Structure 1
Amino acid sequence: MLQDTMRPLVLIPVLAMLLSGCGGMGAFGSGVGAAATAPLDDLNLRREHIPTVLLQAEANPYDLRNLDQCSTIGAEIARLDEALGPDTDEPPAPDGSTLGERAGDAASEAALGAIRDAATDFIPGRSWIRRLSGAEQHSRHVQAAIQAGRMRRAFLKGVGMNRNCAPPAAPAWFRPRGRSQR
């Protein structure tokens, strides 16, 4: 039984050595610390930061104060994009990576997931500890803020379309009719 739980822990350094020749090793090395300290999140000793723009979206997702021009709508959407990443209507940016580099990155992510799982598996009653420490509540708050930010971004792009604004104040596929409002 103990041998079965130790097997993934032995495979992690071996996988790390295999990845050392890949371009993904830099990302792997920087992610090991975060994966190994994942129990700090469970104990609520380390918290994920919620950007201010997401907290504002959570408080009032339909607020249109000072958003009377396409440029201000676009600026607010840019702030949300910075916190959330690109919207689903945006094509992925070409990163110029090769198939081998993408495979190395995927292997790095798998190894980091294994380290994170191994580190958190050592906590008995993890779900209860997360509830009692407040980590579960904070995790739900982070997810709610992300959802509110996505909802606000979609709302603002709809407002931008209604006002005949060009992207980024509207979805990437939208083409303004006639002259776009500024």
Structure 2
Amino acid sequence: MRRLLLLAPIALLSACAAAQDFGSGVGAAATAPLDDFNLRREYIPTVLLQAEANPYDRRNLNHCSTIAAEVGRLNEALGPDGDEPPAPDGSTLGERAADAASKAALDAIRDASTDFIPGRSWIRRLTGAEQHSRHVQSAIQAGRVRRAFLKGLGIQRNCAPPASPSWFRPRGASQR
């Protein structure tokens, strides 16, 4: 509790700077124990579950457009690929500093809300929360592998991005 009182000024400053993001993050950080007791589970998108089942599935990938569509679904679930340049967000140094302070405050609130649980690691194991967390990470990794496989397939078929990495330039006319 003392930790929360010490963090209140940081939270207020961050809330003023990035009120909407911080406000939505406080609820998630404060309810983090629900994840530990397996009362709330992180949603795994279907595209990641499919990738986990068979990351090298080549069915229906005969055209660059279908490869690009599949890469798009994976980008939606995973966020941009590592080969993509960061999107210019036009934020100022002050806004980036406020975002960093907001994230630090949210991490502190999340830590404080889970620190009071005695034997937290055992509770996570007994409730199945740890197993679900591992499943989420496995699905994310499979999605990354699938996206890399698809982009390699796109290079092989001379497809333009996003069916291939952003740096790839197709020779001549690309396949449709």
Q: Is 1:70 the counterpart of 2:55 in the alignment?
A: no
Q: 1:152 aligns with which of 146, 155, 169?
A: 146
TM-score, normalised via structure 1 length:
0.94
Cα distance, 1:178 vs structure 2: 1.2
Q: 2:5 aligns with which of 7, 10, 32?
A: 10
Cα distance, 1:86 vs structure 2: 0.1
Q: Within 2, Cα distance between the matches of 1:83 and 1:97?
A: 24
Cα distance, 1:8 vs structure 2: 2.0
SS of the residue corresponding to residue 21 of structure 1 reads: helix
Query: Percent of counterpart pairs with the same letter?
Result: 78
**Corresponding position of 1:91:** 85
Given that 1:50 and 1:145 are in contact with CA atoms closer than 8 Å, whether structure 2 keeps it comes out as yes
Q: Is 1:141 the counterpart of 2:141 in the alignment?
A: no
Cα distance, 1:174 vs structure 2: 0.2
Given that 1:69 and 1:181 are in contact with CA atoms closer than 8 Å, whether structure 2 keeps it comes out as yes
Q: Within 1, Cα distance between the matches of 2:19 and 2:7?
A: 13
Report the RMSD for the aligned CA atoms in angstroms: 0.9
Amino acid in structure 1 at the alignment position of 2:133: S
Cα distance, 1:20 vs structure 2: 3.7
Kindly report structure 1 stretches of 4+ aligned residues shifted beyond 4 Å: none
Q: Is 1:38 the counterpart of 2:36 in the alignment?
A: no
Q: 1:168 aligns with which of 137, 149, 162?
A: 162
Q: Within 1, Cα distance between the matches of 2:169 and 2:100?
A: 37
Given that 2:160 and 2:174 are in contact with CA atoms closer than 8 Å, whether structure 1 keeps it comes out as yes
Given that 2:15 and 2:23 are in contact with CA atoms closer than 8 Å, whether structure 1 keeps it comes out as no
- 1:41-60 mapped onto 2 (5 Å cutoff): 41-60=35-54
**Corresponding position of 1:121:** 115
Amino acid in structure 2 at the alignment position of 1:16: A
Q: Within 2, Cα distance between the matches of 1:142 and 1:122?
A: 25
TM-score, normalised via structure 2 length:
0.98
Cα distance, 1:25 vs structure 2: 2.1
Cα distance, 1:19 vs structure 2: 2.4
Tell me, which stretches of 5 or more residues in structure 1 are unaligned? Answer: 1-5
Given that 1:25 and 1:108 are in contact with CA atoms closer than 8 Å, whether structure 2 keeps it comes out as no
Q: Within 2, Cα distance between the matches of 1:48 and 1:7?
A: 29
